[in-house]
Amino acid sequence: MSAKTVPPPLILDRKFVVPLLCGPGPCAYWPSVTEALAKPVITPNCDEFYNVLDDIRAGLQYVFQTKSKLVLAMSGAGHSGMEAVISNLVAPGETLLVASRGMWDQRAIIIANRLGKYNGIKTEITSVPSNTTFSMEQLESELKRTRPEAMFITFGDSSTGTIQNIERLGDICHKYGALLLVDTVVSLIGVEFLMDEWGVDAVFSATQKAFSGPAGIAPVAFSALAEEKINNRKHEPSFYIDIKLLANQWNCYGDTRTYHHTLCPPMLWALRCCLQEIVKETLPVSWARHASSTAYFHQRLQEYSIELFVPKPEERLNTVTTVMLPEGYNHLEFHNYMREKHNILVLEGRGPTLGKAIRVGIMGVNATKEVADKVADALADSIQALRK
């Protein structure tokens, strides 16, 4: 084929007004992260590459609150972490119990079902209404009934705006011989999470939420119990997400520098910088900042008589709030008005909240009372302006 068959396209720069990012993610970057994305290219051929990996692993041990050495970051979005924890820890013929209340639990079900088509993984599901969370009694009853090898649950769910209490769940899972797998994509940094203390066996997150970094790299961590299963497993997961191989590349045990795939240098620098910012602020301060900013935001919404999707305050997520749309409103029209009139980006509901709610993120660098005021006032104006 001639190189002239397809003519060169005309690719022009367009004017883009950066909005105030107050959806469920991605979040605005730390200013230092923007600078970090332009740092020099590093490769597995230089010591600095492994120095950066060491820094990232130490930072991830802090944010996950774990002493485990099997801590690293997947090359990919949060879904790569989700697929990795399921594929590496649930073997052919084994059962995964999914506690389903929102869209991300549904994604775990999809992944498990696809794996099941060729390796026999079985999926069991237990559910609650999407505007509430699970009781420990219900989860223990399902563990006792299904006797799974692992349970998957979402800690903070951005599709529903709920936060699940999991403090005793690790012990309950272990009582029935199950590993506990947890999604912390939209909750880590913004909500207290204690991996070791709570008995979590595998956890994944993503950097475009409360980390205030770019999408495209997914932190993961595994407990000693999960590590033992990975090291003694008889099955092989997909090559790209094989934690055994990735642990060697990430030099998790200090004696391997094996090449697996080419990691993205800007993502590594950005994650390292996010962790520097988090360590500088400290987790307790970050948790408190997110809690106070969101509580203030909810107070402002109450002043305008704006209804929240999640009725119980203790079940509301500190990073993403689901705001009920009054009857008759079009969520896309509402979203567009907020963007055009106020230059604030919020997003429509997703999964069980599609067409019912607007999802507002007060998180990362935007977890401040000043941002909460801007968004609350803009929401009130939009509801008034679009009243049918």
Q: Which residues are annotated as a binding site for substrate?
A: 359
CB 274 within 8 A of CB 207: yes
Please name the residues in contact with 20: beta carbons below 8 A apart, sequence gap of 6 or more. 28, 342, 343, 344, 345, 366, 371, 374, 375
CB 173 within 8 A of CB 143: yes
* Token code pair at residue 146: 């299904």
Residue 378 CB: number of other CB atoms within 10 A?
Answer: 20
Element at 324 (helix H, strand E): strand 320-324
Phi/psi region, residue 305 (left: phi>0; alpha: psi -120 to 50; beta: rest), is left
Q: Which residues are annotated as a binding site?
A: 359
Residue 343 CB: number of other CB atoms within 10 A?
Answer: 13
Buried b (16+ CB within 10 A) or exposed e, 258-268: eebeebbbbbb
